[in-house]
Protein backbone atom coordinates (compact mmCIF):
# COMPACT_ATOMS: atom_id res chain seq x y z
CA UNK A 1 0.00 0.00 0.00
CA UNK A 2 1.14 3.49 -0.83
CA UNK A 3 0.59 6.89 0.79
CA UNK A 4 1.20 10.42 -0.48
CA UNK A 5 2.10 13.48 1.58
CA UNK A 6 1.89 16.83 -0.21
CA UNK A 7 3.54 19.71 1.66
CA UNK A 8 3.46 23.41 0.75
CA UNK A 9 2.84 22.82 -2.95
CA UNK A 10 3.31 25.98 -5.04
CA UNK A 11 2.95 26.38 -8.79
CA UNK A 12 3.66 29.67 -10.57
CA UNK A 13 3.12 30.37 -14.26
CA UNK A 14 4.74 33.18 -16.19
CA UNK A 15 2.29 35.09 -18.37
CA UNK A 16 3.50 37.39 -21.10
CA UNK A 17 1.42 40.42 -22.07
CA UNK A 18 3.18 42.40 -24.78
CA UNK A 19 6.66 43.13 -23.45
CA UNK A 20 5.72 42.56 -19.84
CA UNK A 21 5.73 39.32 -17.89
CA UNK A 22 3.57 38.70 -14.87
CA UNK A 23 3.39 35.80 -12.45
CA UNK A 24 0.22 33.80 -11.92
CA UNK A 25 0.17 31.66 -8.80
CA UNK A 26 -2.13 28.75 -9.62
CA UNK A 27 -1.42 26.78 -6.43
CA UNK A 28 -0.41 28.52 -3.21
CA UNK A 29 1.05 26.41 -0.36
CA UNK A 30 -1.38 23.51 -0.56
CA UNK A 31 -0.81 20.57 1.79
CA UNK A 32 -2.79 17.32 1.93
CA UNK A 33 -2.32 13.63 2.62
CA UNK A 34 -3.59 10.57 0.76
CA UNK A 35 -3.68 7.33 2.74
CA UNK A 36 -4.68 3.78 1.74
CA UNK A 37 -8.41 3.11 1.87
CA UNK A 38 -9.42 6.77 2.10
CA UNK A 39 -10.68 9.33 -0.40
CA UNK A 40 -9.87 13.02 -0.25
CA UNK A 41 -12.13 15.23 -2.37
CA UNK A 42 -10.55 18.39 -3.79
CA UNK A 43 -13.44 20.76 -4.40
CA UNK A 44 -13.53 24.09 -6.20
CA UNK A 45 -14.66 25.90 -9.31
CA UNK A 46 -12.83 25.92 -12.64
CA UNK A 47 -9.56 27.80 -12.34
CA UNK A 48 -9.11 27.13 -8.63
CA UNK A 49 -6.01 24.97 -9.17
CA UNK A 50 -7.48 21.47 -8.85
CA UNK A 51 -6.22 20.05 -12.13
CA UNK A 52 -2.83 21.72 -11.67
CA UNK A 53 -2.40 19.77 -8.42
CA UNK A 54 -3.43 16.57 -10.24
CA UNK A 55 -0.84 17.18 -12.96
CA UNK A 56 1.87 17.78 -10.38
CA UNK A 57 0.98 14.56 -8.54
CA UNK A 58 1.19 12.60 -11.81
CA UNK A 59 4.40 14.40 -12.82
CA UNK A 60 2.94 16.07 -15.87
CA UNK A 61 3.88 19.40 -14.25
CA UNK A 62 6.82 20.37 -12.05
CA UNK A 63 6.04 22.34 -8.88
CA UNK A 64 7.68 25.72 -8.31
CA UNK A 65 8.27 24.67 -4.71
CA UNK A 66 6.97 22.21 -2.15
CA UNK A 67 7.28 18.45 -1.90
CA UNK A 68 5.32 15.38 -2.99
CA UNK A 69 6.46 12.44 -0.86
CA UNK A 70 5.22 9.01 -1.96
CA UNK A 71 6.10 6.06 0.27
CA UNK A 72 5.34 2.38 0.61
CA UNK A 73 4.19 0.68 3.82
CA UNK A 74 7.76 0.06 4.94
CA UNK A 75 8.70 3.71 4.51
CA UNK A 76 10.57 3.21 1.23
CA UNK A 77 10.40 6.29 -0.98
CA UNK A 78 8.81 5.74 -4.40
CA UNK A 79 10.71 7.33 -7.28
CA UNK A 80 11.32 7.20 -11.02
CA UNK A 81 9.48 4.47 -12.97
CA UNK A 82 8.04 2.97 -9.78
CA UNK A 83 6.33 6.31 -9.10
CA UNK A 84 4.47 6.18 -12.42
CA UNK A 85 3.34 2.66 -11.66
CA UNK A 86 2.08 3.52 -8.19
CA UNK A 87 0.35 6.82 -9.08
CA UNK A 88 -2.11 6.82 -11.97
CA UNK A 89 -4.77 9.22 -13.22
CA UNK A 90 -8.32 8.87 -14.55
CA UNK A 91 -8.96 11.83 -16.83
CA UNK A 92 -12.14 13.86 -17.06
CA UNK A 93 -12.94 13.21 -20.71
CA UNK A 94 -13.30 9.52 -21.66
CA UNK A 95 -13.84 10.56 -25.27
CA UNK A 96 -10.40 12.17 -25.56
CA UNK A 97 -8.32 10.03 -23.20
CA UNK A 98 -8.60 6.87 -25.32
CA UNK A 99 -6.94 6.61 -28.74
CA UNK A 100 -9.71 5.92 -31.29
CA UNK A 101 -7.36 3.95 -33.53
CA UNK A 102 -6.58 1.23 -30.97
CA UNK A 103 -8.69 -1.52 -29.49
CA UNK A 104 -9.77 -1.66 -25.85
CA UNK A 105 -7.41 -4.60 -25.38
CA UNK A 106 -4.49 -2.49 -26.62
CA UNK A 107 -5.26 0.34 -24.15
CA UNK A 108 -5.10 -2.01 -21.15
CA UNK A 109 -2.32 -4.28 -22.44
CA UNK A 110 0.10 -1.41 -23.07
CA UNK A 111 0.60 -0.38 -19.39
CA UNK A 112 0.88 -4.06 -18.46
CA UNK A 113 3.79 -4.45 -20.88
CA UNK A 114 5.42 -1.10 -20.11
CA UNK A 115 5.50 -1.82 -16.38
CA UNK A 116 6.41 -5.49 -16.92
CA UNK A 117 3.34 -6.81 -15.14
CA UNK A 118 3.04 -9.66 -17.67
CA UNK A 119 5.62 -11.58 -19.70
CA UNK A 120 3.77 -13.45 -22.45
CA UNK A 121 1.02 -12.52 -24.90
CA UNK A 122 -1.29 -15.13 -23.39
CA UNK A 123 -0.73 -13.83 -19.87
CA UNK A 124 -1.32 -10.27 -21.04
CA UNK A 125 -4.63 -11.17 -22.68
CA UNK A 126 -5.82 -13.03 -19.58
CA UNK A 127 -4.96 -10.02 -17.46
CA UNK A 128 -6.78 -7.66 -19.85
CA UNK A 129 -9.95 -9.77 -19.66
CA UNK A 130 -9.66 -9.89 -15.87
CA UNK A 131 -9.37 -6.10 -15.65
CA UNK A 132 -12.41 -5.62 -17.91
CA UNK A 133 -14.46 -7.94 -15.72
CA UNK A 134 -13.36 -6.05 -12.60
CA UNK A 135 -14.86 -2.83 -14.00
CA UNK A 136 -18.10 -4.64 -14.98
CA UNK A 137 -17.48 -4.70 -18.74
CA UNK A 138 -18.82 -8.11 -19.66
CA UNK A 139 -18.55 -10.32 -21.57
CA UNK A 140 -14.93 -9.17 -21.55
CA UNK A 141 -14.01 -11.22 -24.64
CA UNK A 142 -16.54 -9.22 -26.66
CA UNK A 143 -15.45 -5.83 -25.28
CA UNK A 144 -11.69 -6.31 -25.75
CA UNK A 145 -11.54 -6.18 -29.59
CA UNK A 146 -13.82 -3.13 -29.87
CA UNK A 147 -12.71 0.44 -30.56
CA UNK A 148 -13.55 3.28 -28.13
CA UNK A 149 -16.20 4.77 -30.45
CA UNK A 150 -18.17 1.51 -30.17
CA UNK A 151 -18.68 2.02 -26.43
CA UNK A 152 -20.84 4.43 -24.45
CA UNK A 153 -19.34 7.22 -22.38
CA UNK A 154 -19.77 5.26 -19.17
CA UNK A 155 -18.15 2.17 -20.68
CA UNK A 156 -15.21 4.24 -21.92
CA UNK A 157 -14.66 5.69 -18.46
CA UNK A 158 -14.65 2.16 -17.04
CA UNK A 159 -11.96 1.27 -19.58
CA UNK A 160 -9.98 4.32 -18.42
CA UNK A 161 -10.27 3.12 -14.81
CA UNK A 162 -9.13 -0.38 -15.78
CA UNK A 163 -6.17 1.09 -17.68
CA UNK A 164 -5.15 3.18 -14.65
CA UNK A 165 -5.24 0.16 -12.32
CA UNK A 166 -3.60 -2.25 -14.77
CA UNK A 167 0.02 -1.52 -13.72
CA UNK A 168 -0.91 -2.11 -10.07
CA UNK A 169 -1.50 1.51 -9.05
CA UNK A 170 -2.16 2.14 -5.36
CA UNK A 171 -2.83 5.88 -5.67
CA UNK A 172 -5.60 7.01 -8.01
CA UNK A 173 -6.05 10.63 -9.09
CA UNK A 174 -9.62 10.96 -10.41
CA UNK A 175 -9.96 14.33 -12.15
CA UNK A 176 -13.73 14.94 -12.37
CA UNK A 177 -14.25 11.37 -13.66
CA UNK A 178 -18.04 11.64 -13.98
CA UNK A 179 -18.57 15.27 -15.01
CA UNK A 180 -18.86 14.39 -18.72
CA UNK A 181 -21.15 11.41 -18.20
CA UNK A 182 -24.93 11.29 -18.19
CA UNK A 183 -26.42 11.92 -14.76
CA UNK A 184 -28.08 8.48 -14.82
CA UNK A 185 -24.75 6.62 -14.94
CA UNK A 186 -22.59 8.80 -12.69
CA UNK A 187 -23.53 6.96 -9.51
CA UNK A 188 -22.63 3.62 -11.08
CA UNK A 189 -19.11 4.81 -11.94
CA UNK A 190 -18.61 6.31 -8.46
CA UNK A 191 -19.82 3.10 -6.83
CA UNK A 192 -17.38 1.18 -9.02
CA UNK A 193 -14.51 3.39 -7.84
CA UNK A 194 -15.64 2.87 -4.26
CA UNK A 195 -15.66 -0.91 -4.64
CA UNK A 196 -12.22 -0.98 -6.28
CA UNK A 197 -10.88 1.24 -3.50
CA UNK A 198 -12.14 -1.14 -0.82
CA UNK A 199 -10.80 -4.21 -2.63
CA UNK A 200 -7.30 -2.79 -3.23
CA UNK A 201 -7.07 -0.29 -0.33
CA UNK A 202 -6.46 2.52 -2.82
CA UNK A 203 -5.58 6.06 -1.81
CA UNK A 204 -7.84 8.29 -3.94
CA UNK A 205 -7.82 11.99 -4.72
CA UNK A 206 -11.26 12.82 -6.11
CA UNK A 207 -11.30 16.16 -7.92
CA UNK A 208 -14.70 17.74 -8.46
CA UNK A 209 -16.77 20.90 -8.31
CA UNK A 210 -19.83 18.94 -7.14
CA UNK A 211 -20.31 18.98 -3.36
CA UNK A 212 -23.04 16.33 -3.55
CA UNK A 213 -20.81 13.65 -5.08
CA UNK A 214 -17.91 14.77 -2.89
CA UNK A 215 -19.97 14.03 0.22
CA UNK A 216 -21.17 10.70 -1.18
CA UNK A 217 -17.76 9.43 -2.26
CA UNK A 218 -15.12 10.99 0.02
CA UNK A 219 -13.95 10.74 3.62
CA UNK A 220 -12.40 14.21 3.68
CA UNK A 221 -13.09 17.39 1.71
CA UNK A 222 -10.54 20.06 0.90
CA UNK A 223 -12.05 23.26 -0.55
CA UNK A 224 -9.80 25.20 -2.91
CA UNK A 225 -10.36 28.84 -3.89
CA UNK A 226 -7.96 30.78 -6.09
CA UNK A 227 -5.18 28.30 -5.43
CA UNK A 228 -5.53 28.26 -1.64
CA UNK A 229 -7.19 25.84 0.74
CA UNK A 230 -9.99 27.74 2.49
CA UNK A 231 -11.71 24.89 4.35
CA UNK A 232 -11.01 21.25 5.14
CA UNK A 233 -12.43 18.51 7.30
CA UNK A 234 -14.59 15.36 7.34
CA UNK A 235 -17.06 15.31 4.45
CA UNK A 236 -20.22 15.63 6.53
CA UNK A 237 -18.76 18.46 8.62
CA UNK A 238 -17.76 20.54 5.59
CA UNK A 239 -21.07 20.02 3.79
CA UNK A 240 -23.47 20.32 6.73
CA UNK A 241 -21.58 23.00 8.68
CA UNK A 242 -19.59 25.15 6.23
CA UNK A 243 -17.68 28.05 7.78
CA UNK A 244 -15.89 29.80 4.93
CA UNK A 245 -17.91 32.13 2.69
CA UNK A 246 -16.72 30.34 -0.44
CA UNK A 247 -17.81 26.92 0.86
CA UNK A 248 -21.20 28.39 1.69
CA UNK A 249 -21.43 29.75 -1.85
CA UNK A 250 -20.69 26.30 -3.28
CA UNK A 251 -23.31 24.78 -0.99
CA UNK A 252 -25.91 27.27 -2.21
CA UNK A 253 -25.12 26.32 -5.81
CA UNK A 254 -25.69 22.62 -5.16
CA UNK A 255 -29.17 21.38 -6.18
CA UNK A 256 -31.54 20.46 -3.38
CA UNK A 257 -33.60 17.33 -4.24
CA UNK A 258 -36.28 18.43 -1.77
CA UNK A 259 -36.75 21.76 -3.57
CA UNK A 260 -36.58 20.97 -7.31
CA UNK A 261 -36.36 23.99 -9.55
CA UNK A 262 -35.87 26.42 -6.66
CA UNK A 263 -32.89 28.56 -5.78
CA UNK A 264 -31.79 28.54 -2.15
CA UNK A 265 -30.86 32.21 -2.18
CA UNK A 266 -31.44 34.95 -4.70
CA UNK A 267 -29.08 37.44 -3.08
CA UNK A 268 -26.21 38.32 -5.44
CA UNK A 269 -22.72 37.53 -4.19
CA UNK A 270 -19.78 39.82 -4.89
CA UNK A 271 -17.05 37.27 -5.52
CA UNK A 272 -14.33 39.89 -5.26
CA UNK A 273 -15.14 40.31 -1.57
CA UNK A 274 -14.56 36.62 -0.78
CA UNK A 275 -11.38 36.33 1.24
CA UNK A 276 -8.99 33.43 0.63
CA UNK A 277 -6.41 34.45 3.23
CA UNK A 278 -7.90 32.22 5.94
CA UNK A 279 -8.79 28.54 6.15
CA UNK A 280 -11.17 26.81 8.56
CA UNK A 281 -9.95 23.40 9.73
CA UNK A 282 -12.74 21.19 11.07
CA UNK A 283 -10.19 18.75 12.50
CA UNK A 284 -8.86 21.37 14.91
CA UNK A 285 -11.97 23.54 15.03
CA UNK A 286 -9.97 26.68 14.33
CA UNK A 287 -9.16 29.27 11.68
CA UNK A 288 -5.68 29.28 10.17
CA UNK A 289 -3.80 31.53 7.80
CA UNK A 290 -3.93 30.30 4.18
CA UNK A 291 -1.23 30.67 1.54
CA UNK A 292 1.66 30.37 4.00
CA UNK A 293 4.09 27.50 4.69
CA UNK A 294 2.87 24.74 7.00
CA UNK A 295 5.65 25.48 9.47
CA UNK A 296 4.50 29.09 9.77
CA UNK A 297 0.92 27.98 10.44
CA UNK A 298 2.07 25.52 13.09
CA UNK A 299 4.11 28.23 14.83
CA UNK A 300 1.25 30.74 14.81
CA UNK A 301 -0.45 31.25 18.21
Residue span of the structural domain in which 70 resides:
2-256+271-299
pLDDT at 15: 87
Q: Measured between alpha carbons, how far is residue 298 from residues 35, 92, 210, 280, 284 in Å?
A: 22, 35, 31, 14, 12
Residue 230: give its domain's CATH number. Answer: 3.40.50.300
pLDDT above 70 for 294: yes
pLDDT at 18: 80
pLDDT above 80 for 267: no
Is 241 within the bounds of a domain? yes
Residue-wise pLDDT for 127-145, tens only, equals: 999 999 999 999 999 999 9
- Report the distance separating Cα 147 and Cα 144, nearest Å: 8
Is 73 within the bounds of a domain? yes
pLDDT at 212: 83
Is 175 within the bounds of a domain? yes
pLDDT above 90 for 93: no
pLDDT at 299: 63
Query: Which residues make beta-bridge pairs with 207?
Result: 42, 175
Is 152 within the bounds of a domain? yes
pTM of the entire predicted model: 0.90
Residue-wise pLDDT for 222-266, tens only, equals: 999 999 999 999 999 999 999 999 998 888 776 655 555 555 554
Residue-wise pLDDT for 147-185, tens only, equals: 999 999 899 999 999 999 999 999 999 999 888 888 888
pLDDT at 21: 87
Q: Measured between alpha carbons, how far is residue 169 from residues 20, 165, 234 in Å?
A: 43, 5, 25
Spatial contact of 190 and 136, defined as CB atoms under 8 Å apart: no
pLDDT classification of 292: cutoffs 50, 70, 90: confident
pLDDT at 52: 94
Is 25 within the bounds of a domain? yes
Is 180 within the bounds of a domain? yes
pLDDT at 137: 93
- Report the distance separating Cα 57 and Cα 78, nearest Å: 13
Average pLDDT, the chain: 88
Residue-wise pLDDT for 7-61, tens only, equals: 999 999 998 888 788 889 999 999 999 999 999 999 998 889 999 999 999 999 9
Is 157 within the bounds of a domain? yes
Total structural domains within the chain: 1
Spatial contact of 279 and 290, defined as CB atoms under 8 Å apart: yes
Is 263 within the bounds of a domain? no
pLDDT at 58: 92
Amino acid sequence: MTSVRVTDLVKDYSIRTGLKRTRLRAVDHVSLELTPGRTVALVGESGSGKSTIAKILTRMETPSSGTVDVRLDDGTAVARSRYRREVQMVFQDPFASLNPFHSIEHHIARPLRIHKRTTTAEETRERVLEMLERVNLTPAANIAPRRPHELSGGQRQRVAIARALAPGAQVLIADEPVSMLDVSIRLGVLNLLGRLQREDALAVLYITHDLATARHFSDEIVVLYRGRVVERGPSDAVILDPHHEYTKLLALAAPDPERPGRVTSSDPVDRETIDNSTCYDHFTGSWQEAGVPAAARAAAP
